[in-house]
Chains A and B, each alone.
Chain A
Amino acid sequence: MAVTVSNLAGRKNLWPWLLLAPLALYLALFFLVPLGQVAMMSVTEPRVGLDNYEKVLTGTLYRRVFINTFFTAALVTVCCLLVGYPLAYLMNHTTERRAMAILLLITMSFWTSFLVRTYAWMVLLGNNGPVIWLLATIGFADPPGILFTRFSSTLAMVHILAPYMIMNIYSVMKKIDPALIRSAESMGAYGTSLFRHVYLPLTAPGIANGSVLVFVICLGFYVTPVLLGSPTEQMAAGLIGHQIEQFLAFGLGSAMAIVLLIVTLIVLWIYSRRFGLDRLYG
């Protein structure tokens, strides 16, 4: 590449940099600097040193919250897969009209704000809501409260993130050549064996894409766990917000934020080593 650059005339050489400069300057000022400030605060507030990290990595509360976050993200990812895979499969095997209708529904869900969907789950799962009402109607005398538990927040997160999974799986599944399936069937592959040897490998990139996306978004989820979950099962983002808002513990909050960021980047890095990062979002 260096050769190409030196071959070009001086003016042309500068041109892409001129086009790029405003954005680069902008990101430096309003992305890197605040991010750097978080890193800075984590080692200077309230004292210079690694006290905050020591607390975050060894304190029972923080360790528990991080483990819980990781566990919840994994659970949500698996649930999204359980919801997304069969649906994508069905969309691929039903009439075009139905597939379009389902696609429209998923798109609609995707575009509807996180908050609206979180609120909707609050309505659905509330003590006077339709789920409890339904349970009571079919004979459950005293249905347990389900709002403000790990169950309700997990369910809502699965709902919110499922479109990412479905879209990713559906887009690879659609590209599978039906002739391939037919020839597999003609060679005697049915049911589970067809699934294991043909479908699964062919859709693996979609599954990987969707899973990483869901997992990463879930790691940093703030709104839904805060509104629907319980404080005894907090996730990392919620605790960071609480530390800052309630205690003005900028140092501790920042240290947790940096740990969260590093975990996220590690997941993305592992993924990009294998598949390439552009594939994920592109």
Chain B
Amino acid sequence: MDRLMRWIGIGIVIFIAAPLVIVVPMSFSTAASLQFPPPGFSFGYYVQYFNDPTWLRPTFNSLFIGAMTTILTMALVVPATFALVRHKFWGKGVANLMMMMPMAVPHIVMAVGYYSYFGSLRLVHSHLGVVLAHTCLSVPITFLVLSANLKGFDRTLERAARSLGATPRQTFWYITLPILRPGLMISALFAFIQSFDETVVAIFISGRDAETLPRRMFDSIRQEADPVIAVISTLLFLAVFLGLIAPHVLRMVRRSLVRVPLPKPKKMAAQHREAA
């Protein structure tokens, strides 16, 4: 029974890992098609990617749109989260629901709406249009992450600061904000990734001038299965890998330098439930 469970476990792990691993050798292939095992290895498609403006432009567009979306989302969501977590007022339930709604609506539905609405506003094919749409889609996840952080905030610290003579403004800038910084950073990261990965709305509205990387990839996969996608996939995968490994490595380095037991970092599972 145990052995059986073990094999089932190994099978599932392979099922999850295989697609992540497979793109790496493909990206070094010399074949023009999806051939496995690759007939030979080279950096040809990497060279192609870094020299092809039709791939680089969408990459920069995505980074730019992601950054703008993050800024706009944070500017809107941070004050709103403070209002919803710290104040009681009439209509709070409705406001809460409203914040979550964009998450419940399938993206294709929003895509149809934006395609028509932004068409009449002449915002299709513009960076601004994509940023406006992506901000809306980023609101729920950013709000969730931030409000979870804010709910766990120990307000006695603020009260202590006030009782020591700090003005509300000083308290906010010197106490509240620094303590919340990690939460703010994480929610900003979620907003960025939500925008950077968003595909469906971008397919409909990003057009020729604001074409995003996922849209370019989608078109490319649908049209020709160009091996350059394997390069991008590998790079994106690498970014995720480094992003997840980096905190662990940093912690190990710090630990070996300081040799002082640090508090255990938040479990990844907890972050993940927020992500979902």
| Residues in A lying within 8 Å of B, measured CB to CB | 1-2, 4-5, 13, 15-17, 19-20, 22-24, 26-27, 30-31, 33-35, 37-38, 41, 83, 86-87, 89-90, 94, 102-124, 126, 128-130, 133, 159, 162-164, 167-168, 170-171, 174, 191, 213, 216, 219-220, 222-223, 226-227, 236-237, 240-241, 244, 250, 253-254, 257-258, 260-261, 264-265, 268, 277, 281-282
B80 near A237: Cβ-Cβ < 8 Å: no
Contact partner of A90 (CB less than 8 A), chosen from B5, B75, B136, B233, is B5
Whether a CB of chain A sits under 8 angstroms from the CB of B68 is no
Chain B residue numbers with a CB within 8 Å of A219 are 106
Whether a CB of chain A sits under 8 angstroms from the CB of B217 is yes
B108 near A220: Cβ-Cβ < 8 Å: yes
Chain B residue numbers with a CB within 8 Å of A130 are 22, 36-37
From B46-54, B112-120, B155-163, B170-178, give the one contacting chain A.
Answer: B112-120
On whether A15 and B87 interact (CB within 8 A), knowing A30-B133, A112-B240, A116-B233, the answer reads: yes
Chain B residue numbers with a CB within 8 Å of A31 are 101-102, 110, 136
Tell me the nearest residue of chain A to B90, going by C-beta.
A5
A17 near B89: Cβ-Cβ < 8 Å: yes
Chain B residue numbers with a CB within 8 Å of A94 are 9
Chain A residue numbers with a CB within 8 Å of B262 are none
Whether a CB of chain A sits under 8 angstroms from the CB of B144 is yes
A120 near B105: Cβ-Cβ < 8 Å: no
> Chain B contact residues: over half helix, strand or loop, or mixed?
helix
B19 near A124: Cβ-Cβ < 8 Å: yes
On whether A119 and B33 interact (CB within 8 A), knowing A26-B76, A240-B108, A277-B100, the answer reads: no
Count class of interface residues, chain B? 35 or more
Smallest Cβ distance from A273 to chain B, in angstroms?
Answer: 14
> Chain A contact residues: over half helix, strand or loop, or mixed?
helix
B90 near A119: Cβ-Cβ < 8 Å: no
Chain A residue numbers with a CB within 8 Å of B20 are 105, 108-109, 112, 117, 120
A223 near B34: Cβ-Cβ < 8 Å: no
Chain B residue numbers with a CB within 8 Å of A33 are 117
Smallest Cβ distance from A215 to chain B, in angstroms?
Answer: 12
Chain B residue numbers with a CB within 8 Å of A19 are 79-80, 82-83, 87
On whether A282 and B148 interact (CB within 8 A), knowing A22-B79, A27-B98, the answer reads: yes
B79 near A20: Cβ-Cβ < 8 Å: yes
Q: How far is the CA of A36 from the CA of B90 in the complex (A)?
A: 25
B221 near A27: Cβ-Cβ < 8 Å: no
Chain B residue numbers with a CB within 8 Å of A22 are 75-76, 79-80
Chain A residue numbers with a CB within 8 Å of B5 are 86, 89-90
Instruction: Please provide the chain B residues from 169 to 203 with a CB less than 8 Å away from any CB of chain A in the complex.
Output: 193, 197, 199-200, 203
Q: How far is the CA of A146 from the CA of B61 in the complex (A)?
A: 35
A264 near B34: Cβ-Cβ < 8 Å: no
B193 near A164: Cβ-Cβ < 8 Å: no
Contact partner of A35 (CB less than 8 A), chosen from B88, B109, B217, B225, is B109
B80 near A23: Cβ-Cβ < 8 Å: yes
Contact partner of B8 (CB less than 8 A), chosen from A24, A86, A112, is A86
A-B pairs with lowest CB-CB distance, top 7: A220-B106, A34-B113, A120-B19, A19-B83, A16-B87, A16-B83, A237-B108
Chain A residue numbers with a CB within 8 Å of B229 are 119
Chain A residue numbers with a CB within 8 Å of B97 are 277
Q: How far is the CA of A126 from the CA of B17 in the complex (A)?
A: 18
